[in-house]
Structure 1
Amino acid sequence: MSTTTTNPGIEDPTGLRAVPRRSLGQQILSAGTILALLALVVFFFAMRPDVFLTFTNVRNILYQVSILAIIAVAQTVVMVVGDFDLSVAATSSLAGSVAGALLTGGSSVPVAILTALAVGLGIGLINGVLVAYLNLSAFVATLASMTSIIGGAYLVTEGTTLFNFPPAFTELGQGRLLAIPMPVYFATLIALAAWAVLRFTTLGRSWYAIGGNVEVARLSGISVRRSRLLAFTVAGLVAATGGVLLAARLGSASAVQGSDNLMFSVAAVFLGMTVIRSGAANLGGTIIGVAIIGVMSNGLNILGVNSYVQQVVTGIIIIAAVTLSSLKTRGR
């Protein structure tokens, strides 16, 4: 009597490959984030059907999360490589402050915007050098840079709130095209551009390879240091773009503007990591995470829940997302 054993991953005589089936629990886990988004939409619609899914409110949600989506894109790029950037929100604040200071000082709108973007690019470059070439921990390096950046923003604004910007600048954040706010278009374009880079370019594939296994990526001929440097540089530029648009949207700039976006961007990326089977950072999942945060915040505001409770809920969401991501990684 003989026993035949099928080895997963080895072709059998029929030419078919044995693929291990996923359990019901694993399938639910993979769809959990999307189901959570749908559940939130259904819940808030049931609570306030007269308000929640109206065109005006959906537009408000998109408007509210547009800047967060841009910051989350920056965070995603770095986390795809397997690193972490605590300075993205501070970089956006400094960029907005630089643009605001130049505008109130009489500079033209293009000069103010380009200078602010250059500041973000420079910060990302410095972070990349510290992490990729000086081998500092990304957490420690970006924590230190975050502290310095916040100090720099206070110096630029002199500890005050800057305002009275020219209409040509505020139009970028407050204008509308076909009844949709301009920041929504900018966020969409940035997200699509980042997705295209991650999905279709050699650089994007290099970032994913490094995030998967640094040593294997190095042995495959990928320039790990240069790729990590580029990831942080891109993140700095994208974060600065978000800061400029936030200043334009609010019509003001300060050193602490958008500081909550660090926490929310991390939550969005971790939520997105639960969407795909590998449990890796991915842009599509991040956008779903941003949508969850936006729907939750908007719904709680409609129901009259105060902001302190919202912070508690956000913390719980981060813990749940990290736990789910860890469970998916163990289940691979």
Structure 2
Amino acid sequence: MTTTRNPGLEDAAELRSGPKSSVGQRLLSGGTVLALVLLIIFFFAMRPDVFLTFTNVRNILYQVAILAIIAGAQTIVMVVGDFDLSVAATSALAGAVAASLMLAGMPVALAILIAIIVGTLIGLANGLLVAYLNLSAFVATLATLTSVTGLAFLVTNGTTLFNLPAEFNVLGQGRFLEVPLPVFIAVAISVILWFVLRYTTVGRRWYATGGNAEVSRLSGVNVRMSRLTAFTVAGAVAAIGGILLAARLGSASAVQGEDNLLFSVAAVFLGMTVVRSGAANIVGTMVGVAIIGVMSNGLNILGVNAYVQQVVTGLIIIAAVTLSSFKNRER
């Protein structure tokens, strides 16, 4: 009987007890977390009066909440060994659809539901192109990115949609216990995705597919369906992120949150170094999101030029991919 290596189960066991590994492997695995700690220490040393105050920590969480959701969507796709360039565009279209429907008089709840369905359908289309038409995930989602962005411009007529209902805006601007609601929603979605990936059959099949699609197929896993469901769920999650972003800003546009694509990729790659298998995982992704959030907030506090921040972001992406490559060589 052929057995399938299951990165999800291995990562789960590792996160509970920790692997017996060489010093180099341990340093590589702990490097991402260490980088986060060092960033916090550095920015606190530079601005102790501001950086670790409750208000600033709350701002960091608020700033990364949407990114955490988008990065969660990207993580799902990368777990199955694929890549989705359209997550940010999908989120922007979902926000634009919800906004346009509400401005047309549709109830808030129904507009949100339709926007999530739109995101789900985009994910389904990506899954069909990649899993059943055997297109490269890069090419397929690049095409989807272009088409979805065009649809978003059509929905918004190339403008920014304002004057959204107050009951909608509260989703992105409201607070509970002085903490913004998007933070709670991002945590809830992350926990759900973590549970699905770690404890469910669907999650195990996703990890098996990403580990070795052919072996998984021979072991009885429906690889095509696994990839299809991963893209579909990712589309729905990305749509939720876009809806929350529109609620947070109180407006919607076709290019809203476009930076989240690169940031989500960087977060997932950074997170892949946290576990021994080098597989995408939610816990690691959230560490990557935290690094990006802390870095961005700290540089803003220090008054660093926005263009310099773009350079730093590019260097982080290069470092993340390089670390992930080293991790795969250790496997």
TM-score w.r.t. the length of structure 2 is: 0.93
Question: How far apart, CA to CA, are the structure 2 residues paired with 1:197 and 1:114?
Answer: 22
Question: How far apart, CA to CA, are the structure 1 residues paired with 2:124 and 2:189?
Answer: 19
- 1:173 aligns with 172
Amino acid in structure 2 at the alignment position of 1:218: R
| Cα drift, residue 21 of structure 1 | 6.1
- 1:90 aligns with 89
- 1:126 aligns with 125
Q: Equivalent residue of 1:163, what SS? A: coil
- 1:149 aligns with 148
1:23-58: CA deviation from partner (whole Å, max 9, x where unpaired) = 322211110000000000000000000000000000
Question: How far apart, CA to CA, are the structure 2 residues paired with 1:276 and 1:121?
Answer: 29
Question: How far apart, CA to CA, are the structure 2 residues paired with 1:143 and 1:153?
Answer: 15
Which has more radius of gyration?
1
- 1:224 aligns with 223
Amino acid in structure 2 at the alignment position of 1:70: I
Question: How far apart, CA to CA, are the structure 2 residues paired with 1:26 and 1:162?
Answer: 50
Aligned ranges 1:1-332 → 2 under 5 Å: 22-332=21-331
Amino acid in structure 2 at the alignment position of 1:25: G
- In structure 2, stretches of 5+ residues that fail to align are 1-18
TM-score w.r.t. the length of structure 1 is: 0.93
1:104-135: CA deviation from partner (whole Å, max 9, x where unpaired) = 11111011101100100100010000000000
Amino acid in structure 2 at the alignment position of 1:111: L
Which stretches of structure 1, 4 residues or more, deviate above 3 A after TM superposition?
A: none
1:147-184: CA deviation from partner (whole Å, max 9, x where unpaired) = 00000000000000001011100000000001000000
1:238-287: CA deviation from partner (whole Å, max 9, x where unpaired) = 00000000000000000000000000000000000011111111110000
Identity among equivalent positions (%) equals 74
Q: Equivalent residue of 2:321, what SS? A: helix
Q: Equivalent residue of 1:299, what SS? A: helix
- 2:13 aligns with none
Question: How far apart, CA to CA, are the structure 1 residues paired with 2:115 and 2:327?
Answer: 39
- 2:10 aligns with none
RMSD: 0.9
- 2:6 aligns with none
Ranked by relative contact order (alpha carbons within 8 Å, sequence separation 6 or more), the top structure is 2
Question: How far apart, CA to CA, are the structure 1 residues paired with 2:117 and 2:20?
Answer: 50
| Cα drift, residue 297 of structure 1 | 0.2
Count of residue correspondences: 313
Q: Equivalent residue of 1:164, what SS? A: coil
Q: Equivalent residue of 1:252, what SS? A: coil
Amino acid in structure 1 at the alignment position of 2:299: L
Question: How far apart, CA to CA, are the structure 2 residues paired with 1:297 and 1:221?
Answer: 45
Between 302-311 and 34-43, report the one with greater CA deviation.
Answer: 302-311
- In structure 1, stretches of 5+ residues that fail to align are 1-19
Question: How far apart, CA to CA, are the structure 2 residues paired with 1:62 and 1:21?
Answer: 34
